[in-house]
Structures are given as structure tokens and as C-alpha cells.
Amino acid sequence: MTKIFWVTCPECSGEFYCHWQELRHKKIQLLCPYCGHRFLDEESPKIVE
């Protein structure tokens, strides 16, 4: 089963999910599908795991 987590974009407040194993605590920038903003998981104002 693939584990995911939800993040909130700090720019547009859009919520989307990412693959936990690949992106959580990895210092890899996430790409917001709504506005194209790139940010780290730590910069998300809200994370749901």
C-alpha cells in the first residue's frame, strides 16, 4: 500500500497529496499543481499524514 500525506501550498492554500516514502522529510521540493509554486514539506502551513 502506498502511503501518502497531504500538504497545503503556502502560496495559494491549495491542498494536494504526495507520496510519503518519496517526499516526506526528504528535503525535496514539492510542486503545487495549482499555482506551480515549489516548496519543502516543512514549509507547508498544514500537513496531514
Report the interface residues with Zn ion, using CB under 5 A. 9, 11-12, 14, 32, 34-35, 37
Residue 14 contacts by C-beta under 8 Å, 6 or more apart in sequence?
A: 8, 32, 33, 34, 35
Question: Closest CB to Zn ion among 14 and 21?
Answer: 14
Question: Closest CB to Zn ion among 10 and 24?
Answer: 10
Q: How far is the CB of 4 from Zn ion (least distance, A)?
A: 18
Question: Closest CB to Zn ion among 1 and 37?
Answer: 37
Q: Where on the phi/psi map is residue 36: left (φ > 0), alpha (ψ -120 to 50), or beta?
A: left
